[in-house]
A and B are shown apart, each in its own frame.
Chain A
Amino acid sequence: MLVWAVLAITICVPIAAAAASPLLAWRQPVYIIAGFAGIAAMALLLLQPLLAAGLLPGLTLQRARRIHRWIGGALVALVVLHVGGLWITSPPDVVDALLFTSPTPFSAWGVIAMWALFGAAVLAGLRHRLRPRLWRRVHTALALVIVAGSIVHALLIDGTMETVSKVALCALVLVATLKAVAGARAWTIKRR
C-alpha cells in the first residue's frame, strides 16, 4: 500500500508543480500541451521498470506486463504529442533537435531517448518472432537508453518543471530501472 502511495505522490506532484509554473502564463496552449506531454511521459516512465519486473504489490507478473505494454503505447503517443506540439510552436528548433544540430545539449538526449522508445515499442510488437533471450537483452538495453536519455534531457532543461520534484522523479526512475534490470532474468540467463 505504501508503495502505491509513494508512486502516486511521485507521479502527481511533479505534474502539479509544473502546472503552477509562472512560465505557463507566457506560453500558448500548443506549447503548454507539448510540455505536459513530456512531463507526463517522464512520470509514467517510473512505472515501466516496476511493472516489467513485477515489483509492484498486488499485481501478478502477467497483469503487470499487460499494463506495461499499455503504458508503453501511451509513452509513444505522449512523445509524438511532445515533439509535434514543439514543432508547431517553433519548427526550426525541432528540426535542429532532430538533426542533432541544436545549440541546446538536452535536445540530443531527448531525441536519442525518443528513437530508443520507438525501437523498444517496435521490438515489443515483434516479441514472438524473436528468441526470448535476444528480445530481452535488446529491449532492456533500449530501456536503459530511454531512461538515461530522458533523465539527462529533463535535468538540463530550464522549463516548467519545478526543480526539486523533477530531480526526485528522475532519481526514482533511475533507482527503479536499476533495480528492475539487476533482477531481470535477461542478465541471469546470460551468466549461466
Chain B
Amino acid sequence: MTEVFTTRRRLLAATGATVAAGMSGLILPARAAGLAPTPTMRGGANNYLPGAPIVERIGAGGFWMTGTVRRAGDGAPLAGQRVQIWAHTTEGHERDPESHGATLTDANGEFRLEMPQIVPAFGQAHGHLAYEGDGFETVFLRPVMASPNDTTLHADFVLKPV
C-alpha cells in the first residue's frame, strides 16, 4: 500500500512537472517548491538516545519500520540520511538502549529496519523515529499503529535544510 502511495505521488509530481514544463517551455517549475517540511510530533522525542548505533536489525526482528526521507520544497529523495528508530516492543522498554537502532536511507530516500514486534505502551501501540544529521533540521515522529496486531509501521520525513 505504501509502495503504491509513493508511486502515485511520484506519478502525480511527474505529471505535474511535465504539464508545467510544457506550458513554461523549459525550466522545472517553482510550483514544486510547495512540499512543506514534516513538523515534529508531540512526544516524538520521548526516550530518544542521541547517536544510537546503526544496526542490521533491532533485537530478533519480526516487525518492519519503513519510511522515506525527502527534501522540503522539491521533494527530492535524500540518500544516506540517518534515521533512529525505537519503541516499546516484545523485547524491551523504550528507555532500554537495546530497543534503539539507526539505519540509513537508500538511493531512493527509502529506509526499512527490522525490529521486534511493537506492543501497546502508555496506552497506544506506537513507534518513534528521529532524523539525525547535519544538513537538515531535526525531526521527531511518533506514528501510532492502526491496530496493535500490525507487523509494519510507516513514517515519512520531509526535511527542511538548515
Contacts and interface: CB of A to CB of B under 8 A. Distances in A.
Contacts of A23: 119-120
Contacts of A102: 42-43
B122 A156 contact: no
B66 interface: no
Contacts of A92: 43, 45-47
Contacts of B68: none
A157 interface: yes
Interface in A136-177: 156-159
Number of chain B interface residues as a range: 20 to 34
Contacts, number: 58
B124 A158 contact: yes
A90 B93 CA distance: 9
Contact of A90 (B94, B119, B124, B148): B94
Nearest to A28: B93
A104 interface: yes
Given A26-B119, A157-B123, A159-B123, A103 B94 contact: no
Contacts of B93: 27-28, 31, 89-90
Contacts of B42: 96, 101-103
A156 B122 CA distance: 11
B142 A103 contact: yes
A103 B43 contact: yes
Given A93-B43, A96-B46, A86 B123 contact: no
A106 interface: yes
A179 B88 CA distance: 41
A86 B47 CA distance: 13
B13 to A, nearest CB: 30
B139 interface: no
Q: Which of B43, B44, B45, B89 has the most CB of A within 10 A?
A: B43
Interface in B69-89: 88-89
A5 to B, nearest CB: 32
Contacts of B45: 92
Interface of B: 41-47, 88-91, 93-95, 119-125, 142, 148
7 contacts: A23-B120, A26-B91, A90-B46, A93-B122, A96-B46, A102-B42, A158-B124
